[in-house]
Structure 1
């Protein structure tokens, strides 16, 4: 993301931030990763390890969680609660709720209020989680205890995981390049309260361009996954001759991601696939936790 999204970095620097690419030479763990693989593309799991290491060593530094853990998802539910009020204002209610998923906070934010409403006896919409095919924790991961970071500095969490040592390919939806899924989202998947699907980045960028030309809003690469999911649901309704209300969360604009759109228009955006052997190795190294 440091290289793919330079304008995000420039915006942060405008407000006084110093941005460092992870893995970095500024932490012991980052140096260890780079020693093993100097060209390592990084991941959210590695960045978390570096951030936790720095915060643990400095009295003047705190680490604020942005995704995955349950309290973050519950804070984000303001999104779904507002969506419920908006639906009521429109005298409508969703038959399907779609959200993109990486660590789970964005998806939980839109989906949890509707799941809760259904569990309390209200109408139960289908809940669809859309993840990148190159980092498919819900559709390919194992439901097990694992570390939330690659350096194993965080507590064990039961979640759908590809293994904490798994490194996703460097696709452009950087916010979705995480090896695990939030415990609450994972638990809901196990209970059958939601379904999951995965799409390649070219499929998602195609959907994003379609949406931009129809609605005038350019979505972020992460949000393109939800757009793709919503379009697929609309096409299903068309095939089945049904009229359904589809709600999806457009979680961010793509104004800082136009470099990836340029690559898409030039035909340079490739659908990167993860290494099956690396995935198997990462899953084989999951912590052993007594039942």
Structure 2
């Protein structure tokens, strides 16, 4: 069985069995429609009940340069962890961005260019998304401006070099270029929401520019469905069976990409869906300790309020090497599925993540990004002793969402025993979540920072 590069994206929206709560205006808190500065096709992809969406031919051609991506059974990793069941890896690190982010960056650059936009502006945490958007803009003839979380850029300066080489203008966030950056008091320098807020403000002030985001929006998760659709073909070719699918969650794009096609397929065929397990950073535990409420997606306070599992956009996130996971909330589609019991979650420390990454490097000759290490650590638990009462009985599929060649500083700290895991402060978490408005229909427990829904 040959594996074909998908020519359609597959939406999970027709198979949820429930509606996504509507966005709300940040000014009034009402349920009125909120106008987004998006190409119409991306708006349609976010709200339509259509299941399959044709991928534009220029995007398919770009995909063919690095897709299909590899999937293999990680027998060396299995032996190292003492796995009871097979573990399969889907590897997304073999492109210029070094991550899955290029899947949606290419699609967005195509649609924005077709809509007449001349420049895309974004915020990035670990730098994979900024690199992906810079590469996509170069291919589709757009200018690119990137605000990167300052602490992450200082640790990984070569991310900035690569983005600059691709033609992007790169800024260490917070900056003095925006009001939100100038107003920062120094307590939010590790926050991806601040970098995103700067990008939103900067794009609004420039003619011909538009803000682009790579993770939490429903259309970006749709574009990532190529990961899971390919994986389904590849597992079938191996005659492999898995009952758990794992991805790391910052906002949710690689998790959504690997996991949600399995939910859609099960719903469409009447089969039982595998466990869909979101592995998050213990420093940013929105799915395991957050609340289901309306919150901001960035630091400007002007973007629509979305219904999400969140620890509060004002929460000061402890410093860690899990930069791509350092976002205060999960995507609204992932959050709605978590609320409905269709998605499970587990929190992983950076020490656990980097140890899992070390084991993969030694036993599979594959160096994962720290973000991917969180998914690997969760997969290892599922395949051995279980994670938060979750166990795999037949097999585990895990998305290795990116490579770790620009994260070797983190691994060096880990190997030298100099890595400190800072646990979130319970009081600060409660304070950051205290003023949030509950989602209509949410259970009472969803506003007290509980973990897994019953």
TM range (shorter): over 0.9
Please state which structure has a larger fraction of its residues in helix: 1
1:283 matched to which residue of 2? 433
C-alpha distance after superposition, 1:77-106 (max 9, x if no partner): 111111111111111231110110110111
Structure 1 residues 233-244: aligned runs within 5 Å: 233-236=382-385, 244=394
How far did 1:243 drift?
5.7
Match status 1:83 vs 2:231: yes
| Distance in structure 2 (CA, Å) of the matches to 1:56 and 1:247 | 41
How far did 1:220 drift?
0.1
Match status 1:250 vs 2:400: yes
| Distance in structure 2 (CA, Å) of the matches to 1:42 and 1:271 | 15
Of 406, 409, 413, the match for 1:259: 409
- Equivalent position SS for 1:67: coil
Change in Cα spacing, 1:231 to 1:242, as seen in structure 2 (3 Å) is closer
How far did 1:287 drift?
4.6
2:76 matched to which residue of 1? none
2:374 matched to which residue of 1? 225
| Distance in structure 2 (CA, Å) of the matches to 1:92 and 1:290 | 41
Of 159, 177, 187, the match for 2:308: 159
Match status 1:12 vs 2:153: no
Of 144, 155, 169, the match for 2:318: 169
Q: Which runs of 5+ in 2 are unaligned?
A: 1-151, 442-454
| Distance in structure 2 (CA, Å) of the matches to 1:110 and 1:242 | 17
Of 327, 344, 348, the match for 1:178: 327
| Distance in structure 2 (CA, Å) of the matches to 1:94 and 1:287 | 38
How far did 1:24 drift?
1.2
Structure 1 residues 120-131: aligned runs within 5 Å: 120=268, 121-131=270-280
C-alpha distance after superposition, 1:144-184 (max 9, x if no partner): 11111122121010010111111211111111000010011
Q: TM-score, normalised by structure 1?
A: 0.93
Structure 1 residues 23-38: aligned runs within 5 Å: 23-33=174-184, 36-37=185-186
Q: TM-score, normalised by structure 2?
A: 0.61
Please state which structure has a larger fraction of its residues in strand: 2
Match status 1:141 vs 2:290: yes
| Distance in structure 1 (CA, Å) of the matches to 2:393 and 2:279 | 22
Q: Which runs of 5+ in 1 are unaligned?
A: none
Of 261, 271, 278, the match for 2:421: 271
1:42 matched to which residue of 2? 190
Structural RMSD (CA): 1.9
